[in-house]
């Protein structure tokens, strides 16, 4: 049987039999979770099998001192580790590395080498877990039972939020594995620590799936409606241009001989002319400045997602503006809302012109037919 398996048996027995019920956080499940984390981080970091064995033993033994005392348990854990490892004739050099890794798990201790960094990151891997709040509840109960420390919800979440703000993972492997969930947990703690502020603040769109879906749907609908408006305007342009092309030669040829056609001809040409004007206004692009002052972005007065606001900017200036936008959730939320708002405003102007165009065309055609009928009857009466 390997040294790791033997130590695992001893540690499992020790933590199962000697830990009190008050250890709702520092217990066997936590020890096994840390062991799993060091194996994962160690393999990603490509350490040797010998180093991985040292880390695995450190993870199994690092909280055994809780069976003797709560405060300063690291020293007790080192002593228990020494007894167990010496009983297995474990090499002294490796044993000292195990002791150093165990000592590195102390909150105020800074790791001095790669193995200690991996051990430190593994011990706090739960900060980047999707079960963090559940695990944190266990720590709160443990402190209440073992240390007599009781906190209100606000005090507890504020305490842990401060710890999050000061914490950094040492290894790249831990940063890659845990950073995303770590940041999400940190934001959750901030909201829980400030419940009143949470009610007043706008929930970031990045965390609101319903809002994301509604924005995507609204944006897609706006684009579809804009395309539909352009198609309708193009139809009106084509129809009225065709009518003018036919009407003007006819007016030149027949008006002298048939004067009664003058009024309907003028009316139909005026109808086509004004219809073309408003159809053109419906498809005319909005005025664009092509450049945006960085200070306006910080003041949430600009949106770099629309090309009309940056096509004359230099790349470094544009990248700086986009960096400011995406790094600040409030500015990003505001930019998304501004984009949708002004797209809607532009769409409203487009459809207003289009409605006027269709109204002129409909009214003009009906009126032209009526005027032609009246003029023709008057012509026959004469």
Q: Could you read off the pLDDT tens digit of each residue along the chain, which spans 382 residues?
A: 688 899 999 899 999 988 888 899 999 999 999 999 999 999 999 999 999 999 999 999 999 989 989 888 889 999 999 999 998 898 999 999 999 999 999 888 889 999 999 999 999 999 999 889 999 999 999 999 888 899 888 889 999 999 998 888 999 999 998 988 999 999 988 888 886 654 445 566 666 777 778 878 887 888 888 888 889 899 999 999 998 888 778 777 777 677 777 888 889 889 999 999 999 998 888 777 778 887 777 777 777 777 777 888 888 888 888 888 877 777 877 888 888 888 888 889 899 999 999 999 999 999 989 988 888 888 777 6
Which residue bears the tokens 């804009």?
226
* pLDDT score, position 344: 86
Residues in the chain: 382
* pLDDT score, position 206: 61
Cβ within 8 Å of residue 186, ≥6 positions away: 161, 164, 165
* pLDDT score, position 204: 63
Cβ within 8 Å of residue 325, ≥6 positions away: 297, 304, 331, 332, 335
Round to whole Å and give the CA distance between 210 and 202: 14
Round to whole Å and give the CA distance between 114 and 58: 14
Round to whole Å and give the CA distance between 120 and 107: 9
Which residue bears the tokens 């228990």?
80
**C-alpha dihedral, 368 to 374 to 379 to 381, nearest 10°:** 170
DSSP label at 260?
Answer: G
Cβ within 8 Å of residue 102, ≥6 positions away: 58, 61, 62, 74, 77, 78, 81, 119
Cβ within 8 Å of residue 16, ≥6 positions away: 28
Round to whole Å and give the CA distance between 272 and 241: 7
Q: How far apart are the first and last CA of the chain?
A: 123
DSSP label at 270?
Answer: H
* pLDDT score, position 256: 67
């Amino acid at each position: 049987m390997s040294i790791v398996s033997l130590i695992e048996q001893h540690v499992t027995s020790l933590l199962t039999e000697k830990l009190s019920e008050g250890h709702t956080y520092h217990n066997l499940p936590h020890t096994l979770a840390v062991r799993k984390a060091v194996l994962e981080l160690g393999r990603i970091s490509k350490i040797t099998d010998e180093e991985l064995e040292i880390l695995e033993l450190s993870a199994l033994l690092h909280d055994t001192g809780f069976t003797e005392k709560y405060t300063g348990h690291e020293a007790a854990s080192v002593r228990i580790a020494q007894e167990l490892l010496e009983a297995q004739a474990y090499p002294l050099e490796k044993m000292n590395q195990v002791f150093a890794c165990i000592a590195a798990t102390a909150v105020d201790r800074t790791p001095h080498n790669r193995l200690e960094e991996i051990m430190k990151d593994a011990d706090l891997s739960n900060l980047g877990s999707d079960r963090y709040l559940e695990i944190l509840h266990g720590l709160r109960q443990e402190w209440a039972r073992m240390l007599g420390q009781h906190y209100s919800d606000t005090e507890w979440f504020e305490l842990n939020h401060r710890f999050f703000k000061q914490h950094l993972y040492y290894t790249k492997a831990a940063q890659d594995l845990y950073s995303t969930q770590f940041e999400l947990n940190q934001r959750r703690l901030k909201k829980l620590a400030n419940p009143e502020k949470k009610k007043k603040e706008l929930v970031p769109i990045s965390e609101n799936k319903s809002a994301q879906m509604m924005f995507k749907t609204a944006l897609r609908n706006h684009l579809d409606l804009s395309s539909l408006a352009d198609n309708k305007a193009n139809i009106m342009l084509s129809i009225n241009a065709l009518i003018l092309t036919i009407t003007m030669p006819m007016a030149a040829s027949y008006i002298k001989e048939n004067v009664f056609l003058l009024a309907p001809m003028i009316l139909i040409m005026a109808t086509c002319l004004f219809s073309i004007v408003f159809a053109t206004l419906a498809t005319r692009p909005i005025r664009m400045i092509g450049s945006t002052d960085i200070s306006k972005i910080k003041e949430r007065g600009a949106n770099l997602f629309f090309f009309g606001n940056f096509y004359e900017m230099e790349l470094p200036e544009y990248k700086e503006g986009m960096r400011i936008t995406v790094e600040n959730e409030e500015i990003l939320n505001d930019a998304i809302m501004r984009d949708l708002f002004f797209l809607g405003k532009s769409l409203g102007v487009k459809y207003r012109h289009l409605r006027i165009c269709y109204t002129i065309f409909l009214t003009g055609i009906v009126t032209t037919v009526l005027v032609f009928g009246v003029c023709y009857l008057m012509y026959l009466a004469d």
